[in-house]
Amino acid sequence: MTEETLLDAAHAAMEAAPEDGAARLRFYERLADGELFLMLAEESDGDALIPEIFDLSDGRFVLAFDREERLSAFSGGQVVPYASLSGRALARLLAAQGLGLGLNLEVAPSSILLPAEAVAWLVETLADTPTETEAQIEEVAPPAGLPEALLGALDTKLAAAAGLARAAHLVAVTYAGGGRGHLLAFTAAAPGAEPALAQAVAEALTFSGIEAGALDVAFFADSDPMAARLERAGLRFDLPEPARAEVLRAAPGSDPARPPILR
């Protein structure tokens, strides 16, 4: 029996509180962020995935698991072809074909059937992108009054953003002209990482379940005078160092410019 996974824990919390919208959102966030192993009908050539599709009374479903050993357990120990890809990449592929997702069926406490409508909702939610504006910061102060749900969501998201920046600082800000709000400022962001980091913050806000919430995002070099002000006033999040494992072969769905297709 495998140890409890993040999906197991999120699913259990959702099942324990069916009326809790925040718990349901956290489950879908874990699903999108996690790695899934999709059962295939035949080996992939890297450009197309041919999954096993099961026709059920509720629709057509593919099967995926959050651990390789769970896929093996479902198949009775038989070797079956599979593809590893993120939950968000798989959701996009399924939504395009109107397919549902059978997750960890029969082999884990997080066993669940997600109909095509739920998959489409997840893809639509993930498609929300932040807008870019310009503003001049006049004052920074420690953050105040932010919900614990948002702080926890940010901590989880940033822990998964290894190597994209050195740190992030959460502060209360006053802008030129009198506008006020909260800002998450990244320092020493990797070249080209800004859109991914801004999207991660937007998703943390969305999946934390906070209605009508807003959180600005900014980027500063370590040498910028603002970085020192952020360090003094802000709540600091340290991002993990990137893993230094050699990548032998790109996983399907890992290159946004060449996404696989389902056939």
Six-digit token string for 9: 């824990």
Task: Tell me: do 210 and 188 sit in the same domain.
Answer: yes
Q: What is the DSSP letter of 130?
A: P
Q: What pLDDT, on a 0 to 100 scale, did the predictor assign at position 198? A: 93
Looking at the structure, tell me whether residues 165 and 108 fall in a common domain. no
pLDDT in tens, 47-100: 788 999 999 988 999 999 999 999 999 999 888 999 999 999 999 999 999 999
**Each residue's pLDDT tens digit, 138-184:** 999 999 988 888 898 899 899 989 999 999 999 999 999 889 999 99
121 & 141 share domain: no
According to DSSP, the residues that pair with 228 across neighbouring strands are none
pLDDT of residue 257: 52
How many independent structural domains does the chain possess? 2
One domain for residues 116 and 20 = yes
Tokens at 247, concatenated: 């990548």
Domain of residue 102, CATH code: 3.40.1350.90
Q: Are residues 107 and 147 in the same domain?
A: no
Q: How far apart are CA 97 and CA 171, in angstroms?
A: 43
Structural domain of 231: 137-238
